[in-house]
Amino acid sequence: MKVFRIFAAIALMFFTFSHANAMSKDIVDTAAGAGQFKTLVAAIEAAGLVDTLKGDGPFTVFAPSDEAFAKLPAGTVDDLLKPENKDKLIAILTYHVVPGKIMAGDIAGKSTEVKTVQGDTLDVDATNGVTVDKAKVVKADIVTSNGVIHVIDSVVMPN
């Protein structure tokens, strides 16, 4: 019984430390450390949005994974990362960001529109799984120190 208590205490300390460590990272650091957002992080850097997404927030980021970016036509990402396309890249990236912290539970069972930092609205449908425009949320509620990340399977484009 004593061994079980010691093991439980160690497990609790590890969980508390790892949870606190995750909460201390902002959106950019969390995305960079996840390993599945290399393209997104490169785009954030090229667009000059690092400081913004490290800011106080809170922000909700619908984050396309590297696999999502790979679905774009060949050459699209390379073109967007060129300095002359910075404004277009900023518009696309800020279309994936919503002011405030929207957790999956906040919208469960609902269909709604949310206004993006870019200025347009995203259609969010949480009545049968969760979609953002036509992208599926494949992982929700990655909590950061300045908001939340929801991983999506496609890059969504503003009108």
pLDDT reported for residue 109? 92
Q: What local confidence, expressed as pLDDT, does residue 159 receive?
A: 83
- The rounded average pLDDT for each run of 10 residues, N- to C-terminus, in the chain (159 residues) is 39 40 80 95 96 94 97 96 96 97 93 96 94 95 97 95
By CB neighbour count within 10 A (0-12 exposed, 13-18 middle, 19+ buried), where does 65 fall?
Answer: buried
Q: What is the pTM of this model?
A: 0.84
2-152 placed in CATH 2.30.180.10: yes
- For the chain, the domains span 2-152
Give the integer Cα–Cα distance in Å for 80 and 76: 6
* Residue 101 confidence (pLDDT): 96
